[in-house]
Amino acid sequence: MKYISTYFTSFAIVLFFIATFNWFIDPFGMFWSPQIDRINQIKPEAGKRSRISKAYQVHKIKPQILIVGNSRVEMGLNPTNRLFTGKAVYNQGMPGAGIAMQVDYAIDAINNNDTIEQLLVGVDFLDFLLSEQQVTNFKAEIHHHTQPSYAFRLNSVGNDFNPASFARLKEKMTMVFSLDAFSASIRTIFQQRSMASSINAHGFNNALSYVAIMDSEGIKPLFRQKLQEISTRLTSKSWVIKAQETTPYSPAFAHLGRLINITKKNKINVIFFINPYHFSYLHTLADSGQWQNFQLWKQTLVQYLNQVYGNDFNLWDFSGASNFVNEAVPLTKPKQQMQWFWEPAHYRQELGDIMLATLLAKKNNDNIHFGKILTIENIAGLLKTNQACLQEHLVQWKNLQKNL
């Protein structure tokens, strides 16, 4: 009996040590225990669990401004930007998340936080592409939004004991009691001085792993790999944009409509924006036969928002003609970082800061020098300008392809 007692006591002590250690190091950015420089301040492992942590952390921050989108906004828009002074801001951008997940998480945040006054919503072209089969079945998909695997995390501030609350408790416990978390804690300590990406308490990813990649491999492989990845994705199926004369247009627009409905109900201001893409990304769209769909998507988005809001909507386009989008790739100095982009699909915080200056300014601000507000009246003209800009930089694109 003494042996059994000693065994269980030792086991409990070890378990307690592991749990305390994991809670303190907090490798996944779940609990935000005290941060100590060179011990647990940098959290390279947090990006691997951001879909979990961001479902809960948003309720701790109780933001007044919520940033919604995918990895582009997670790496590009810093919620601690000085323009937000006096406001609590949370970046809920999630890598690889489609629009359904983005909207589900945002709606959960709104339902559980009466502090939210404004949403900055990044809309991404690829999230709205449909295959031919999806076009055929899109009405059925709209009315059958299947229960996602992450549904138990939503309404996460509820205290009622039910299967969902038990699943949430279990998920949180794995963040402190599991050996996986223990291994992540060890890796976190050893990576404190490395050039690794880290997510902060407000959901922003500093994307520093790109610096490490460029220091070791240079920018050429980074661009080459990303452009190939985009091309493969765009040519793997027969993608189309489904547009029709009446809402909701497609399942993706229907999900956007769910978000719009709850923001209207709660009197929350919403600013939509199209992320900037490097010109090489835009030319890859064209080479993959998707440029016209990209143009049609912008037109459909404006039309949709006009039907939902009338003329009272804010939609900014940062993907159009600009010196930022057309930034040259420093091929002659392959380990030199670009000023505005990490690679074709992701922009840097420096460009995000300029975007925020535009998004948070008044429409008639003469100091705006990046981004165009899209309206029913100007969309046709801006699409023509974008088409002309694409052709104007065709030689630049061909040279880049040749040297990559």
- Residue type (1 letter), 320: G
| Residue type for position 237 | K
Long-range contacts of 189-194 (CB under 8 A, 24+ apart): 189/25, 189/39, 189/40, 191/42, 191/44, 192/38, 192/39, 192/40, 192/41, 192/42, 193/38, 194/44
Cα–Cα distance measured from residue 36 to residue 33, given in angstroms and rounded to the nearest whole number: 10
Q: Which residues pair with 68 in a beta bridge?
A: 121
Please spell the DSSP secondary structure of 42-75, one letter per residue. Answer: S-TTGGGGHHHHHHHHHHHH--SEEEE-SHHHHH
Query: Averaged over 80-105, what is the pLDDT?
Result: 95
User: pLDDT band at 161, cuts 50/70/90?
Assistant: low
Predicted pLDDT of residue 10: 82
- Mean confidence (pLDDT) of the chain: 89
pLDDT, tens digit (0-9, with 9 covering 90-100), for 9-57: 888 888 899 999 999 999 999 999 999 998 999 999 999 999 999 999 9
- pLDDT-derived band at 193 (thresholds 50, 70, 90) equals confident
Percentage of the chain modeled with pLDDT above 70:
91
| Burial profile 135-170: b = 16 or more Cβ within 10 angstroms, e = fewer | eeebeebbeeeeeeebebbbebeeeeeeebeeebee
What is the spatial distance between Cα 390 and Cα 384, in angstroms, rounded to a whole number?
A: 10
Cα 110 to Cα 171: distance, rounded to the nearest angstrom: 22
Percentage of the residues of the chain whose pLDDT score is greater than 90 = 69
Cis-peptide, bond into residue 248, ω within 30° of zero:
yes
pLDDT at 252 over 70: yes
- Considering only 109-118, 152-161, 286-295, which range has the smallest mean pLDDT? 152-161
Residue 317 has pLDDT above 90, yes or no: yes
What does the block give as tokens for 300? 């459909």
Q: What confidence score (pLDDT) does residue 251 get?
A: 82
* pLDDT value at 143 more than 60: no
For the stretch 205-251, pLDDT in tens is 999 999 999 999 999 999 999 999 999 988 887 777 765 556 667 78
* pTM for this entry: 0.92
Q: What is the 3-state secondary structure (H, E, C) of 318-379?
A: CCCCCCCCCCCCCCCCCCCCCCCEEECCEECHHHHHHHHHHHCCCCCCCCCCCCEECCCCCH
Both ends of the chain: CA-CA distance in Å?
70
Q: How far is C-alpha 119 from the chain's CA centre?
A: 13
